[in-house]
Amino acid sequence: MRITIVGCGSRGSKLAEAADKMMEVKRIYLVDSNRPRADALSASLNKAEVVNNVEEELYHCDLVIECATQDVAKRILPQVVARGVDIMIMSVGALVDDDYRQSISDKAKQCNSKVYIPSGAICGTDGLRASTVGGIQEVELITTMPPANFEGLEYVKEKGIDISNIKEKTVLFNGTAREAVQLFPRNVNVAAIVSIMGIGFDRTMITIAADPNIKVNYHELNIKGEFGNLCTHTFNVPSPINPKTSNLAVFSAISALERIVKNQWVGI
């Protein structure tokens, strides 16, 4: 299998390192707006080479993995699926617009391509997926992170919140997943994952808090449905390279890639 990884930051570099060790992966194409970063990653691997853009190797590629931003994901999704190439998305917030998401789904079916979305930095998505068969009444996600994770966010600035001066757990947002994904694009990809798998962006309720007394990225998922009730607690160790990214989010993508290249689907 030949794969293209878009984005060579903390997520992309870890995925590339893992893919480099998979015997089923024959070639890795790297794309990044920061060419020196891509070159450095390529030099550390055995199967990688840097290309200028996604289109350059689409005819020779079996799978594209997006590890960049929502904007990049929105841009490359249509062109990748239109070529009949499979794609894995990590910036899941790119799919918040219902019409856009449906257009991608329709084009993927038409062109025989697949769109993969890893479970990300949260546990319990298997139960959420299964529970939709019988109907769900409520889905609530509570995300709590260290204040530093929210630095530089325009929403926080507009609210007049001084992140550096938070002394106790402070709720920054309470509302729908649709709002949360747009206001916190680099913090709550899990909200998008849960919404797509469950009852949608407008019925999934999100609470986001900053807590100076924790060192993990914490997600609590509560589901009430015909099956009963489900509650999961995920305490994620942040990536040492990028604290805004949880290690589990990267691990889930690596695990998904392993299942794809081996064509093994246990617990689907």
**Is 219 annotated as catalytic?**
yes
Dist CA 265 CA 256 (whole Å): 9
CB 87 within 8 A of CB 63: yes
For 136, 176, 193, 223, the CA distances from 229, given in Å and listed in that order, are 10, 20, 19, 6
* Residue in the structure block whose two tokens are 């691990």: 251
- Tokens in use for 121? 């930095």
Give the helix/strand (H/E) hosting 71.
Answer: helix 70-82
Which residue among 11, 107, 178, 219 is the active-site one?
219
CB 132 within 8 A of CB 115: no
Residues, the chain, total?
Answer: 268
Q: Is 147 left (phi over 0), alpha (psi -120 to 50) or beta?
A: alpha
What's the burial of 137, exposed, middle or buried (CB within 10 Å: 0-12/13-18/19+)? exposed
- Tokens in use for 126? 């298997």
For 44, 60, 161, 264, the CA distances from 92, given in Å and listed in that order, are 28, 25, 26, 23
- Which residues are known catalytic residues? 219
